[in-house]
Amino acid sequence: AEKSSSVSTAGMRRILPAEMVERGADPFGPPPGLRGEGPVRPVDLLNGARAWLVTGFDEARAVLSDARFSADKMRHRDATSLRPPAEPPQGEREDGVFVFMDPPEHTRLRRVLTGQFTVRRMRQLESRVREIAVEHIEAMRAAGTTADLVPAFALPLPSLVICELLGVDYADRAEFQERTVVGLSATSTPQEQLAARGELYAFMRRLVSAKRSNPADDLLSGLVHDADPPLTDAQLTDMALLLLTAGHETTANMLGLSTFALLQHPEQLAALRADPGLIDNAVEELLRFLSIIQLGVSRVATEPVTLGGVDLPAGATVVIATPEVNRDPRHWPDPDALDLGRARTPHLAFGHGVHQCLGQQLARIELRIGLGELLARLPGLRLAVPAEQVPVRDEMVIFGVHSLPVTWS
């Protein structure tokens, strides 16, 4: 039987109380229920277990740089409260999904992968990112003056970039994209998702074999041939799937939600249109302001720890409430304002510590080029429906928009 990746990002609603997940009138603001007293506080989950919510910036950074907090939820599965009882029983642990491992296991696998994110490869990717972005925007323009930006642009761009990264043949890309969409989509049933993820696993496994026998100038071939000691096929397949799950849905939602946020903040959009040199700053501020990984970063305390004045028992599950953390008033003046000209200070949108996002350089390239080309090529870009009708993904670990109908002049 095929193993399927358990790196699932759906289903926050099953274990978190509604007020912590549902957005208020402002879709860009954190769920109102996340706001409360103190940087660390206990919350009762719907499965009857308890977790601790971290909303302070310093406290979140302390957790993510403290080896007493483990990312290995398989090893600590009896202690952690985050696995909903409805979740299907896990098979054997994934061999290469190092986001759920601790050092030293994590260190080795991560190092092999960072070794492949070379300056040369990123530079090559940058020109492909631009070609892919332009191609999709021009296809939208050729088809009319309205489009749903999510399927037309935000989803295919990062998906095709991952195809470039992994060296997926052009002939296989449609199949790859289709399975990815079903596997990650909120609208597919759990059975469809499981089946699609099984197929994606098989797809990646075949890709790994192909790169073993027929290496090319791509990251996956590099992983197959450069790692010393060599990685197993299972590890390579898991790592390829990790790149897909970590890099696709995140970047796609940042593209969609950033566009929505800019359209709802016309004075900021005008400033960016007037000075395209503002784009790097704009991307950083959008990452902070939108903090799309809502409650997806969590750790388990391996021993008793005092955090933000709160005593946590061994086995405590802590959930980093990134949207709140990145609006900590102790770190940003007027944190609820989107201000593209804001002085840059570190934010936690890419996490922190040993697991800090290793695709962040690539994500920034995609956002800078994707948003830049969108604004340059679609003058008069605006929503095609009232803002209240844009469906937001508040039930998902990764926040964003399910669709974004837009029009242009």
Task: Summarize as ranges the residues that interact with ligand HEM (CB under 6 A).
Answer: 71, 98-99, 110, 242-243, 246-247, 250-251, 254, 292-293, 297, 349-351, 355, 357-359, 362-363
Identity of the residue, 4 or 291, whose beta carbon is nearer to ligand HEM in the bound complex: 291
For 267, phi then psi, to 5°, come to -70, -35
Identity of the residue, 254 or 316, whose beta carbon is nearer to ligand HEM in the bound complex: 254
Identity of the residue, 367 or 406, whose beta carbon is nearer to ligand HEM in the bound complex: 367
Q: Centre a 10 Å sphere on the Cβ of residue 211 and count the other Cβ atoms it contains.
A: 22
Identity of the residue, 91 or 103, whose beta carbon is nearer to ligand HEM in the bound complex: 103
**What is the C-alpha separation between 87 and 83, in angstroms, rounded?**
7
User: Which residue number is nearest to ligand HEM in terms of Cβ?
Assistant: 359
Min dist CB 132 to ligand HEM, Å, is 14
Min dist CB 310 to ligand HEM, Å, is 21
**What is the C-alpha separation between 218 and 382, in angstroms, rounded?**
38
DSSP-derived 3-state class of residue 40: strand
Is residue 294 within 8 Å of residue 249, measured between CB atoms? no
Identity of the residue, 219 or 378, whose beta carbon is nearer to ligand HEM in the bound complex: 219
Identity of the residue, 197 or 408, whose beta carbon is nearer to ligand HEM in the bound complex: 197
Is residue 162 within 8 Å of residue 247, measured between CB atoms? yes
Min dist CB 169 to ligand HEM, Å, is 19
Min dist CB 143 to ligand HEM, Å, is 27
Min dist CB 298 to ligand HEM, Å, is 7
3-state helix, strand, coil in the chain (%, to 5): 50, 10, 40
Contacting residues for 258 by C-beta, under 8 A, at least 6 apart: 283, 286, 290, 367, 371
Min dist CB 7 to ligand HEM, Å, is 10
Residues in the chain: 409
Cα–chain-centroid distance for residue 219?
20
Position of tokens 């948003």?
371
